[in-house]
Amino acid sequence: MIYIGYIFIFLGAMAFTVSAIGLLRMPDIYTRLHVGTKSTTIGTILVIVGAMFIEPSWAFKLFLLAIFILITNPLSSSVIARASRKDKDGEQL
Amino acid sequence: MLTFFTTILLVAMFLTLIRFLKGPTLSDRVIAFDVMSIMSVSLLVILSLYFEQSFYLDIALVFGLIGFLGATIFGRYIEKGI
């Protein structure tokens, strides 16, 4: 049971690493937004499922955390995408 | 085994920090900040397994809420200004 959880957490950490490498390599802001949101969502869900396998008595709090991530993560992605589309000149800071 | 996962996540957070430091526009930095806050939520879940105490999950929930609010407010600021 514990080793299944370790496998899930390892897959989640691999998804995070792929997300970070893609965030460095991608050329455009929309591709960066794509790679920075979707793969981190699946990474967090995999880590939380692995933690559910390791400690089954914390399942309710972990389920609540997974639902929260699953709601708020695409919402913030949508807000940032719309804002960077409206921001025409792309101010250099 | 859990320290190995923590090491992988810290390497990923360091790569994201490079994008945060050199991102050309403001939106890139906001994206990198959002990704780092979500990685921190996952790191807190692994930390709660490491110390075997469940109140780290409450901290993870509050941290996710604050990261989401920060990204949304910065998006609002990019779109309309102050």
Rounded distance, CA A76 to CA A10, Å?
26
Instruction: Judge: B68–A19 Cβ closer than 8 Å, yes or no.
Output: no
Q: What are phi and psi of A28, to 5 degrees?
A: -115, 165
- How many folded domains does chain A comprise? 1
- How many folded domains does chain B comprise? 1
Structural domain boundaries, residue A53: 2-84
What's residue A90's pLDDT? 53
- The residue of chain A nearest to residue B33, with distances taken between CA atoms, is A36
Which of A61, A85, A91, A92 to probe the B interface (max B CBs under 10 A)? Answer: A61
Which of A9, A28, A41 to probe the B interface (max B CBs under 10 A)? Answer: A9
What's residue A89's pLDDT? 56
Burial (CB count within 10 angstroms: exposed 0-12, middle 13-18, buried 19+), residue B15: buried
- The residue of chain A nearest to residue B13, with distances taken between CA atoms, is A20
pLDDT, tens digit, 9 for 90 and up, residues A10-64: 999 999 999 999 988 888 888 888 888 889 999 999 999 999 999 888 889 899 9
Beta-bridge partners for A92 = B25
Residue A51 lies in a domain: yes
CA dihedral B6, B12, B14, B16 (to 10 degrees): -140
Residue A58 lies in a domain: yes
Contacts of B72 (CB under 8 A, 6+ apart): A75, A76, A79
- Of the pLDDT bands very low, low, confident and very high (cuts 50, 70, 90), residue B76 is confident
Q: Model ipTM? A: 0.86
pLDDT, tens digit, 9 for 90 and up, residues B16-75: 999 899 878 888 888 999 999 999 999 999 999 899 888 888 998 999 899 899 989 988
Residue A78 lies in a domain: yes
What's residue A91's pLDDT? 52
